[in-house]
Structure 1
Amino acid sequence: MMKVLVAYASLTGNTEEMAELIAEGVRDAGSEAVLKSVTDLSAVEINDYEGVLLGAYTWGDGELPDEFLDFYEELDEVDLNARKAAAFGSGDTGYAIYCGAVDLIEEKLKERGALLLQESLKIEYGPNAAEKEDCRNFGRRFAAGVAAVS
């Protein structure tokens, strides 16, 4: 069974809820989903998984949250060549840069050589009923993509 890491940083619980729903979708697709906070994870652990989904809320004007910074910097030490990946997160359209942290994660994954299997998922605040299904579908599509590329 393929293992997919769903790692996230969450302050209010919005991004954590997204991560849980995405992990549910990964499991629906027949893969094992391992859900972890980035504060409990070292970037080198990514290599233990066939696929990785990284998520964070956006802080301030498009910035990564403090609790994601150490993990983000550790990614510079990890070769993600052809590692299947995607990004997700929550944000607030009231700021000039909507979900900028998601964009930063996606850029870092590309820079480190990861193979981005799908467009990132961005949700304002917490997911509503329709967006909850979007999160599950995001996980399902990702798991199917990992299986197809593996």
Structure 2
Amino acid sequence: MSKIAIVYWSGTGNTEAMAGFVKAGAAQAGTEPDIFTPETFRSELAEEYEAIAFGCPAMGDEELEETEFLPMFEAVEEKLSGKKIALFGSYDWGTGEWMDNWKSQCEKDGAVLVCSCVIANNEPDEEAEAALKAMGEVLAKI
């Protein structure tokens, strides 16, 4: 089983709930992932994990959260080449453009996205919950 990190930022609790579903899926597959917030995840830690799930909601003009998450993510980007990752997050309005842009940036960084990105409009519904648990299972089996 893989050593997995789940790194997320949540302002309203929606993305935190999503991280919990990823963790539950990984646990069902037999792996206990480590959970981090941006304050506790340093770029050096990326090397310790076979896979990382990153979660961040859409903020402002469909962008990643700029104060805590984005600085951490920018510090980790240089470590993403060849790294197996997954992306998730919630939004309140818009079309999900922030996730498309984030996915494109990760691909430019050389990251290997191992499953479809999961987005939820506000609170994750049953469909998002199932997709997030499946994400955790995929990450656990890498």
Q: Out of 51-60 and 133-142, give the one that drifted further.
A: 133-142
Matches within 5 A, 1:65-84: 65-66=65-66, 67-76=68-77, 78-84=78-84
1:16–1:65 CA distance, 2 compared to 1 (3 A):
same
Q: 1:115 aligns with which of 97, 112, 115?
A: 112
TM-score (norm 1): 0.84
Q: What SS does structure 2 have at the residue aligned with 1:27? A: helix
Q: How far apart, in 2, do the equivalents of 1:32 and 1:43 lie?
A: 21
Measure, in 2, the Cα distance between the counterparts of 1:131 and 1:73.
Answer: 27
- Matched residue of 1:90: which SS? strand
Asked which structure has the greater RCO (Cα within 8 Å, sep 6+), the reply is 2
Q: Number of aligned pairs?
A: 141
One-letter amino acid of the structure 2 residue matched with residue 70 of structure 1: P
Structure 1: give runs of 5+ residues left out of the alignment. none
Answering whether residue 52 of structure 2 is matched by residue 52 of structure 1, we say yes
TM-score (norm 2): 0.88
Alignment RMSD (CA, Å): 1.7
Partner SS, residue 38 of structure 1: coil
Q: Is the 8 A contact 2:2 2:139 kept in 1?
A: no
- Identity, in percent, stands at 28
Letter in 1 for 2:126: A
CA contact (8 A) 2:54 2:87 kept: yes
1:41 counterpart residue number: 41
**C-alpha separation between the residues in 2 aligned to 1:101 and 1:55?**
12
Return the match for 1:125 from 122, 125, 137. Answer: 122
> Take 1:79 and 1:134, find their aligned partners in 2: how far apart are those partners?
26
